[in-house]
Structure 1
């Protein structure tokens, strides 16, 4: 946002940053085999991303709908994305808890189980397992995309238009209930981990509104394209650029005819950044010469609502001189900290703001970078650098389970160490206060040395989970128990509260931007810590 304001001609754009880095929940740690490192360019100007590996502790993947991020990667000339191949899927469909299936086999097993239980119907001509799975999946995705469009409408940017009472009534349930009520059981197994794995909640408890918002027709269209192309690559040369281009075009058109949903040509839905998400924001700040003030502690924000012509007054200190209190005025404010904590910093919240912000809830998504011996049926194989344990994403009873894992050195450096490996493990908590009281305070962020207060209970649970999976010689390096995904409960959604918040921006009212943004709110673009962006002195040139 700060870069875009500068590009639009604002001559004074200031970023007040709580930590000593930009990026919020985009936090990348760089490590070689033994220690931390710095990615550098070789004599040809190529950045070495294989020996000094980016380990994402926050924001991680890009799916095929992340157009803005992909555009930024190109605009700021960063190393392009790579697609991690292969998934180790642990679940009750596998031989036992210590052995995994491929993603394809897991999805097929979950669909065949639904057919066996008579939850999924297939036509008489689908006599083989492949035909049954294909028909069930295509039918469910097609139906989902049609219902999604009917309920959510055409979504411009990312916020759906205010929904009618009829549409709200159709989603007055959890996401899992929505899938089952609309006879889309074939998607339940896949979306159980696809949704929860990103930290957006269990499908069993998250409001259907959020499931529909995140799982878009574009995403599912891309998933079907990828599935088709993976099958074709098994029978023809996957390295041929000509065949890939040819396959891409006709698979794209066929997928659109079968399931709908608007998506570009997709080879793989999930990709990663070899230089890390952190590199995007640091490069933007450097190239656009942004005025980023680090180590800021906000003492108070006064929008001076009593006077329409008055500036926003912000009082703060900085870690470089914590005894010096700074008071500055700005023409308008973009607040990107969690609204749930706005009352700590903004001194003139109006009753409507207090009422809306107080209803926000959050989760905890804990990421742990650690080392251990290879994991059976996962990192003892070269082709599966990512693990999901699907059963451990089924509901709140699985809080704290080790449900996902990533072997970045394999993804970016083709490493397959037979001894100690460095990986990133994931845990999710819906009821985080019950796990550890220190997690109850959701106004937490990494400190100015990229470290975060650790939860011993979460770490103990992590180690216990690894022991049960027979993972040996575990050594934890760092843990990040992020407060994650502030969201409204279903009751607030049914009352239209998300749109009430959106309407408070007064967009389209004819007021000048300074007046709009000074008094109202824009939720985090890159949440994490308290980040304030201010701009004034619009250039006339």
Structure 2
């Protein structure tokens, strides 16, 4: 059976490549099929309507505004407010650097992303910012090698992995043309369902769906795919979503899945690469942290680093706030008219006395942990087809702290792939050394110990990559993706949060009110600003 599936995968790859070259057909849609038409309608009418309510905000452009957190959400909001004419915005950051989860470490003169790393076709605001602030080049990221077996690793392309899933779901489909059409139809059906349920909208969070639609989404993302007979898309979606730390599709809400996997994104990642467009997934030549630092520097934002906010007190006889923060070994205080908070709201309840409704909403979040480790190894005897590997046997097993992803940073930036990468033909850095410097991703539901992380990483290096000489250079354990349950999402909790924005003089921004990506948080900022009208 395995041999049949592998043969079908290889054959379909060949047929689809020929079709792309000679007929213009791509996986997901063609120039004449219904999916292309639906996608064009989606793009043409995006942002054509909005049913979000108007919200309250700062009363004047001279109000003193405090933003808590100098991560992507906080820096972007401060930049947008200052660009709109707000004259008194202060950002408080507990750490000694700007960037939040966008952390870029330089090792061997190469930027290694320890947090934010990828961009995709929906990152229009991010691409605009990179160009506006001259924050480096936007480079194609090589498609991942997908490892489906631990005992006998079989590296496949992302597309081949998806075809393996098709073969397991529909063993009766052995004809390559039928297989290609089946995948096309599944993507077309997904695009149609997305359009029917949500219509067209701007940004990531769609206007509140009807109660009927919400009831139809009271299920996991995998249950949604199965219910609509499009489970064949599971391989693409696991790579696009789960491998990035955004949740197992048999656990996470279908609503989260459809917020992230938009019609534009799905059709783009399912399209075979071309010489002109090597990859729709991008990386930044100087790293994401450089982008946020440049925005703060060039726009002269007022950022107080190493200044954790200890308490936000509401003033009894006015609408303002008194912010207590720690700086240089002692407690300071300052008055503000408006508060914007970006860290995980559940934990901010120890700092801000939220009103009872907000407190109840934010108390329902939960999170997992994604660990990134920058390490040096030798090249190993079992390298994949690209400098990025998705170890789906670990993802599917849900083993705590197992290695999910590997990314060779230098080879990714240089786009070294296929035999050139597998054979170790080139040095792994500008210093000419044949030492591999990589970032490894490990996932766990409970906060992991560093000893466990190291033990499992060593085991992976030795037994899967057949490499040795592990030297850990840096490690970040991220409190990742504060999220809501399937039932809470189906009850409309994200829109309930939006409805209280601005009440009691506070805006809530960041991943715990949207989604854990830089695209998500800047899109949410833009949504808030679109729905707020300052009268002064």
Same fold (TM over 0.5): yes
Name 2:163's counterpart in structure 1.
108
In structure 2, distance between residues paired with 1:150 and 1:201: 25
Answer yes or no: is the 8 Å Cα contact 2:162–2:234 preserved in 1: no
Q: Deviations over 1:320-341 (max 9, x none)?
A: x212x21111121110111011
1:338 maps to which of 320, 337, 344: 344
Name 2:407's counterpart in structure 1.
406
Matches within 5 A, 1:288-327: 288-304=299-315, 306-307=316-317, 309-318=318-327, 321-323=328-330, 325-327=331-333
In structure 2, distance between residues paired with 1:526 and 1:284: 22
In structure 1, distance between residues paired with 2:383 and 2:246: 25
In structure 1, distance between residues paired with 2:224 and 2:380: 36
CA drift at 1:91: 0.3
In structure 2, distance between residues paired with 1:167 and 1:420: 52
Q: Deviations over 1:166-198 (max 9, x none)?
A: 212211111111111110021012212321111
Matches within 5 A, 1:333-482: 333-346=339-352, 348-378=353-383, 384-394=386-396, 397-413=398-414, 415-417=426-428, 419-429=434-444, 431-433=445-447, 435-436=448-449, 455-469=450-464, 470-482=466-478
- Where do 5+ consecutive residues of structure 1 fail to align? 33-51, 239-243, 245-265, 437-454, 507-515
SS at match of 1:328: strand
Q: Tell me which moved more, 153-162 or 67-76.
A: 153-162
Answer yes or no: is the 8 Å Cα contact 2:373–2:473 preserved in 1: yes
SS at match of 1:159: coil
CA drift at 1:280: 0.5
Quickly say closer, same or farther: Cα 1:219–1:540, change in 2 above 3 A: closer
CA drift at 1:75: 0.4
SS at match of 2:389: strand
Answer yes or no: is the 8 Å Cα contact 2:143–2:386 preserved in 1: yes
Answer yes or no: is the 8 Å Cα contact 1:88–1:386 preserved in 2: yes
1:268 paired with 2:275, answer no
Answer yes or no: is the 8 Å Cα contact 1:336–1:526 preserved in 2: no
Name 2:98's counterpart in structure 1.
22
The alignment of Structure 1 onto Structure 2 pairs a total of residues equal to 429
- Where do 5+ consecutive residues of structure 2 fail to align? 1-76, 417-425, 518-524, 526-532
Answer yes or no: is the 8 Å Cα contact 1:100–1:377 preserved in 2: no
Answer yes or no: is the 8 Å Cα contact 1:406–1:423 preserved in 2: yes
Quickly say closer, same or farther: Cα 1:416–1:170, change in 2 above 3 A: farther
1:489 paired with 2:494, answer no
In structure 2, distance between residues paired with 1:495 and 1:86: 37
1:282 maps to which of 293, 297, 305: 293
Answer yes or no: is the 8 Å Cα contact 1:90–1:97 preserved in 2: no
SS at match of 2:208: coil
CA drift at 1:206: 1.0
Quickly say closer, same or farther: Cα 1:302–1:420, change in 2 above 3 A: same
SS at match of 1:157: coil
Name 2:185's counterpart in structure 1.
139
1:521 paired with 2:521, answer no
Name 2:500's counterpart in structure 1.
504
Q: Deviations over 1:234-282 (max 9, x none)?
A: xxxx3xxxxx4xxxxxxxxxxxxxxxxxxxxx66220100100011011
In structure 2, distance between residues paired with 1:30 and 1:540: 46
CA drift at 1:540: 12
In structure 1, distance between residues paired with 2:239 and 2:443: 12
In structure 1, distance between residues paired with 2:467 and 2:504: 51
Answer yes or no: is the 8 Å Cα contact 2:481–2:515 preserved in 1: no
CA drift at 1:384: 0.8
SS at match of 1:399: coil
CA drift at 1:4: 1.4
CA drift at 1:67: 0.5
Answer yes or no: is the 8 Å Cα contact 1:84–1:385 preserved in 2: no
TM-score by length of 2: 0.75
CA drift at 1:539: 12
Q: Deviations over 1:190-223 (max 9, x none)?
A: 2123211111011121111111111111101212
SS at match of 1:349: coil
CA drift at 1:352: 1.0
Answer yes or no: is the 8 Å Cα contact 1:25–1:59 preserved in 2: yes
In structure 2, distance between residues paired with 1:82 and 1:297: 35
Name 1:447's counterpart in structure 2.
none
Answer yes or no: is the 8 Å Cα contact 1:140–1:186 preserved in 2: yes
SS at match of 1:317: strand
Answer yes or no: is the 8 Å Cα contact 2:95–2:306 preserved in 1: yes
Name 1:66's counterpart in structure 2.
123
TM-score by length of 1: 0.74
Quickly say closer, same or farther: Cα 1:354–1:58, change in 2 above 3 A: same
Name 1:261's counterpart in structure 2.
none
Name 1:128's counterpart in structure 2.
175
Quickly say closer, same or farther: Cα 1:292–1:517, change in 2 above 3 A: farther
In structure 2, distance between residues paired with 1:394 and 1:539: 49
Answer yes or no: is the 8 Å Cα contact 1:57–1:368 preserved in 2: yes
